[in-house]
Amino acid sequence: MISITTIRARSCLNHGDSTRQIDLNPWDLQYLVLGYAQKGLLFHRSTSSSSSIPRETMIQHLRDSLSSTLDLFLPLAGRLLVVPHGREDGTSSVFITCNNAGVSFVHGIADNTTIADILEPTYVPRIVSSFFPPRNIKNFEATRVPLVAVQVTELVDGIFIACSMNHCLADVKPYWNFLNAWAQISRNRLKQRAPNSKLASFERWFPHGNIERPIAIPFRKILQHHLKESTDSIQSPPFSRRIFHFKREKIAELKAKANSEIEDGAISNKISSLQAVLGHVWRSVIKNQNLNTEEEVTYRFLISARSRVSHPPILDNYFGITVQFNKATMKVRELVGDGGLGKFAWQMNKAISSCTEEKIKSDFEAWVRNPTIRTPPGGTIGKFMITASSPRTNFYDIDFGWGRPVAVRGGSANAKHWKLTVDAGAEEGSFDVELCASHY
Tens of pLDDT along the chain (440 residues) come to 999 999 999 875 444 445 689 999 999 999 999 899 999 999 998 655 444 566 668 999 999 999 999 999 999 999 999 999 877 778 999 999 999 999 999 999 999 999 999 999 999 999 999 999 987 899 999 999 999 999 999 999 999 999 999 999 999 999 999 999 999 999 987 655 545 556 799 999 999 887 889 999 998 888 887 776 665 555 555 678 999 999 999 999 999 999 999 866 545 568 999 999 999 999 998 998 889 999 999 998 889 999 999 999 999 999 999 988 888 999 999 999 999 999 999 999 999 999 999 999 999 999 999 988 766 544 344 566 678 888 999 999 999 999 999 999 999 887 776 688 999 999 999 999 999 877 55
How deeply is 200 buried, as exposed, middle or buried, from its count of CB atoms within 10 A (0-12, 13-18, 19+)?
buried
User: Measuring CA to CA, which residue among 275, 250, 251 is closest to residue 262?
Assistant: 275
Residue ranges in 200-299 assigned as alpha helix (H): 219-232, 248-260, 273-287
Instruction: State residue 73's pLDDT score.
Output: 95
User: Which helix (DSSP H) or strand (DSSP E) does residue 65 occupy?
Assistant: helix 55-70
Marked catalytic residue, from 15, 107, 167, 417: 167
Instruction: State residue 210's pLDDT score.
Output: 79
Decide if 399 is catalytic. yes
Count Cβ neighbours within 10 Å for each residue of 8-26 and write b for 16 or more, e otherwise: bbeebeebeebebbbbbbb
Instruction: State residue 266's pLDDT score.
Output: 47
Q: For the chain, list the domains and their CATH numbers.
A: 3-226 (3.30.559.10), 233-438 (3.30.559.10)
d(CA 247, CA 253): 10
Instruction: State residue 182's pLDDT score.
Output: 96
Instruction: State residue 176's pLDDT score.
Output: 96
**Sign of dihedral through CA atoms 132, 15, 322, 267?**
negative
Decide if 167 is catalytic. yes
Spatial strand order of the sheet with 384-388 comes to 239-246, 431-438, 419-424, 384-388, 296-304, 323-331
The C-alpha angle 418, 424, 159, rounded to 5 degrees, equals 95
Instruction: State residue 109's pLDDT score.
Output: 96
Instruction: State residue 380's pLDDT score.
Output: 45
How deeply is 136 buried, as exposed, middle or buried, from its count of CB atoms within 10 A (0-12, 13-18, 19+)?
exposed
Instruction: State residue 379's pLDDT score.
Output: 39
Instruction: State residue 381's pLDDT score.
Output: 44
**Residue 107 half-sphere exposure toward CB, CA atoms < 13 A:** 15
| C-alpha of 335 from chain center | 27
